[in-house]
């Protein structure tokens, strides 16, 4: 039997494939298209304290090699989420990761604490690509602010905490170290990359907000570089799992992330093109692991 199971803190996922936040519904609505028992975990949409309408349309644009989005964290808010979405977690045949966003440390603490009262939300992921209302700086942009945020959430929430970082600051070694020093169980690398696209006929930006987040195939080599750098310099020694996310479109991309140092593999944009891609990749990854003749965990970081 090929062992594809991986551990993220105290949780064992049946395989490394994880559906990324904001790309598989609020609470796994993608289950209508795929068999969730074939994948390791799903991540919820990022939830904030209060409901958010999000940005004006157009909020997404198709680009060569990926997509640009500025959804603006549209979500129903934690109260409605706990009443209407959290109870659905029980019926999902996979591990559920709750994604949390906010504009203040208190907001993150309150949302994460509420989510962790749901027995079937096993892990909490902090989306730190959100501006702090105090100074407008993204939580993930400053190692000091990030440490304060993660410490506060870890101290008040009874679930392992995953911190999802952006590659935008360039070298994120200090950011990753700060998150782990503050008690993070795992890191998700990476979020979308800030980008701009212009329609040359209308001379307008392709999405209403102008700058948005670029995701999909085009960001994969960047994400592999970030995963490998953080694995080598931060996570390997401290045995902290990484969920490699960014542009996974084929099984080879998932295998590449594992060899670079990822324990889990996130899939986002590719599910919009083909909703069943994650289950296909799980099967193909299994065949690859079988061929390597080792448990998947011993292939983590095995690039030569
Ligand atoms: C339409 C869309 C919505 C997203 N919403 C969220 C979100 O709510 N929270 C979050 O942490 N990341 C969000 N992301 C980022 C993805 O989870 C993922 O990190 C990123 O898209 C890179 O992976 P990919 O190239 O496989 O899509 C979103 C991405 C897209 C394309």
pLDDT at 1: 74
Tell me the CA–centroid distance for residue 73 and ligand 1, in Å. Answer: 10
> Is there a contact between 17 and 40 (Cβ–Cβ < 8 Å)?
yes
- Nearest atom of ligand 1 to the alpha carbon of 245: 23
Tell me: the pLDDT tens digits for 162-199? Answer: 999 999 989 999 999 999 999 999 999 999 999 999 99
Q: Is 48 in the pocket of ligand 1 (CB under 6 A)?
A: no
Distance CA 265, CA 39 (A): 10
Tell me the CA–centroid distance for residue 270 and ligand 1, in Å. Answer: 11
Q: Is 235 a catalytic residue?
A: no
Indicate the pTM of the whole model.
0.98
Taking residues 113-117, report their average pLDDT. Answer: 98
6-54+74-193+215-299 has which fold? TIM Barrel (3.20.20)
Tell me the CA–centroid distance for residue 20 and ligand 1, in Å. Answer: 6
In order, the DSSP letters of the chain are -----EEETTEEESSSEEEPTTSS-SS-GGGGTS-GGGSSEEEPPPB-SS-B--PPSP-EEEETTEEEE-----B--HHHIIIIIGGGGGG-SSEEEEEE--SSHHHHHHHHHHHTTSTTEEEEEEE--SB-TTTS-BGGG-HHHHHHHHHHHHHH-SS-EEEEE-STTS--HHHHHHHHHTT-SEEEE---EEE--EETTTTEESSTTSSEEEESGGGHHHHHHHHHHHIIIIIHHHT--EEEES---SHHHHHHHHHHT-SEEEE-HHHHH-TTHHHHHHHHHHHHHHHHTS-GGGGTT---
Residue 66: closest CA among 284, 275, 219, 231: 219
Q: Let me know how long the chain is.
A: 304
Mutate which of 23, 76, 212, 220 to test ligand 1's pocket (most atoms within 8 Å of Cβ)? 23
pLDDT at 135: 81
Read off the pLDDT band of 112 (50, 70, 90).
very high
Q: Is 75 in the pocket of ligand 1 (CB under 6 A)?
A: no
The per-residue pLDDT of the chain, averaged, comes to 96
Tell me: the pLDDT tens digits for 119-152? Answer: 999 999 999 998 877 887 899 999 999 999 999 9
In order, the DSSP letters of 209-270 are TSSEEEESGGGHHHHHHHHHHHIIIIIHHHT--EEEES---SHHHHHHHHHHT-SEEEE-HH
Distance CA 1, CA 24 (A): 29
């Amino acid at each position: 039997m090929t062992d594809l199971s991986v551990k993220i803190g105290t949780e064992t996922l049946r395989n490394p494939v994880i559906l990324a936040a904001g790309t598989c519904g609020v609470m796994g609505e993608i289950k209508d298209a795929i068999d969730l028992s074939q994948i390791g975990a799903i991540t919820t949409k990022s939830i904030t304290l209060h409901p958010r309408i999000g940005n004006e349309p157009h909020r997404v644009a198709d680009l060569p090699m990926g997509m640009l989005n500025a959804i603006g964290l549209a979500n129903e808010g934690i109260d409605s989420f706990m009443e209407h979405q959290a109870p659905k977690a029980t019926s999902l045949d996979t591990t559920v990761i709750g994604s949390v966003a906010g504009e203040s440390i208190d907001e993150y603490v309150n949302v994460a604490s509420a989510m962790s009262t749901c027995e079937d939300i096993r892990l909490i992921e902090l989306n730190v690509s959100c501006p702090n209302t105090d100074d407008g700086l993204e939580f993930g942009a400053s190692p000091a602010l990030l440490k304060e945020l993660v410490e506060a959430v870890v101290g008040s929430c009874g679930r392992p905490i995953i911190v999802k970082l952006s590659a935008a600051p360039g070298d994120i070694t200090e950011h990753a170290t700060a998150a782990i020093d503050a008690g993070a169980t795992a890191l998700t690398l990476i979020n979308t990359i800030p980008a701009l696209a212009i329609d040359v006929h209308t001379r307008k930006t392709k999405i209403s907000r102008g700058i948005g987040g670029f995701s999909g195939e085009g960001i994969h080599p960047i994400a592999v570089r970030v995963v490998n750098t953080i694995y080598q310099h931060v996570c390997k020694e401290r045995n902290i799992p990484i969920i490699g996310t960014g542009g996974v479109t084929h099984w080879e991309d998932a295998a590449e992330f594992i060899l670079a140092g990822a324990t889990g593999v996130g899939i986002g944009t590719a599910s919009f093109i083909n909703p069943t891609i994650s289950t296909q990749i799980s099967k193909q990854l299994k065949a690859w692991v079988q061929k390597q003749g080792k448990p998947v965990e011993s292939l983590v970081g095995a690039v030569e």
